[in-house]
Amino acid sequence: MILLISCKDDLPTGAQFRIKKVTMQGDQQYLTDTYYYSGNGRLSSMDKAYSDRRKTSNYDLYYKTVFRYDARGRLILMEKQPDGTGHGTIYPGSYTYQYDANGNISLIKYRIDSPDANDNRLAKETISYQYGSNRQPIRVTDFNDVFGDGFIYEYSYKDGNVAAIKKTKVTYSGETELVSTRTYQFDDKPNPFYGLFTGLPDPDTFNGYTFKQNSFYQSNTFNRNNIIFAQYDYEYDSYGRLTKIITPGPGKVITAFEYEMY
């Protein structure tokens, strides 16, 4: 269900909005993402705080994601920096970006820095991109640097949004197996994360609302509009901005979106 909330204030001429905070709460879990921007309007960092008080788990997780750019304004490094005060386990990690002659992302190198040498060996990946004529990614490959296995994601678009993603598993010996083909529905409202940063670090995060990491929203940067699911309720303000998502049921979860003017 989609609900429009009519509440409109007088705004300065030319005022624009950007996402400032996302909160998720319900099912004895609570998560907050807070976004910070530099003077030139680029996303500079994001703070994540997550608490889980379910019987099967009881811990907190806190970390900062820092975004760094080159002189041309292109994202070249996305770095996760846990503060170490929570009981959850997340290691420092980074995504390093490379670009082709047309200014499109060609490669993303991912790694984590774990005290366990074996973890470090396993958690090194190369994500590569292929583009269509309109410069939208149509094929993303994500392969482990050590074993050579991974996944291929093939994207198709409609009206500026990713209408479907075909996911194929590739073994180290080169064998392939279709994992899934997912299709998506969209509203006609602006996606607050569209173009927030370049690249899609983990294509799988397109496929649902993951409470713990909540990467779904940040990774939804390809789409002009918001992905919607029939079983969820959506609320918007009078400017068409997404303000709330309600996941019904026994483990009801409410996701709220806050904006700032700039």
Burial of 142 (0-12, 13-18, 19+ CB in 10 A): buried
What's the CA gap between 109 and 123, in Å, rounded? 10
Sign of CA dihedral 48, 25, 18, 223: positive
For the segment 22-49, what is each residue's pLDDT rounded down to a tens digit? 999 987 888 898 999 999 999 999 998 8
In the prediction, which pLDDT does 241 show? Answer: 96
pTM for the structure as a whole? 0.84
Mean pLDDT value across residues 225-238: 92
In the prediction, which pLDDT does 187 show? Answer: 95
How many residues appear in the chain? 262
pLDDT above 80 (res 240)? yes
In the prediction, which pLDDT does 81 show? Answer: 86
Helices (H), the chain: 117-122, 215-219
In the prediction, which pLDDT does 44 show? Answer: 95
Whether the CB-CB separation of 170 and 150 falls below 8 Å is answered with yes
pLDDT above 70 (res 14)? no
Whether the CB-CB separation of 211 and 23 falls below 8 Å is answered with no
Lookup: tokens for 211: 């409470």
Mean pLDDT value across residues 210-215: 40
In the prediction, which pLDDT does 190 show? Answer: 94
In the prediction, which pLDDT does 218 show? Answer: 47
Q: What is the mean pLDDT of the chain?
A: 82
In the prediction, which pLDDT does 118 show? Answer: 65
At a CB cut-off of 8 Å and minimum separation 6, what does 177 contact? 168, 169, 171
The CATH fold of domain 2-261: Porin (2.40.160)
Mean pLDDT value across residues 233-239: 94
Read off the amino acid at residue 172. Answer: Y
Beta-ladder partners of 98: 107
pLDDT above 80 (res 219)? no
In the prediction, which pLDDT does 215 show? Answer: 42
In the prediction, which pLDDT does 134 show? Answer: 85
pLDDT above 70 (res 57)? no
pLDDT above 70 (res 175)? yes
In the prediction, which pLDDT does 51 show? Answer: 84
Mean pLDDT value across residues 81-104: 81
Confidence of residue 158 (pLDDT cuts 50, 70, 90): very high
Domain ranges of the chain: 2-261
CA-wise closest residue to 96 among 73, 121, 124: 124
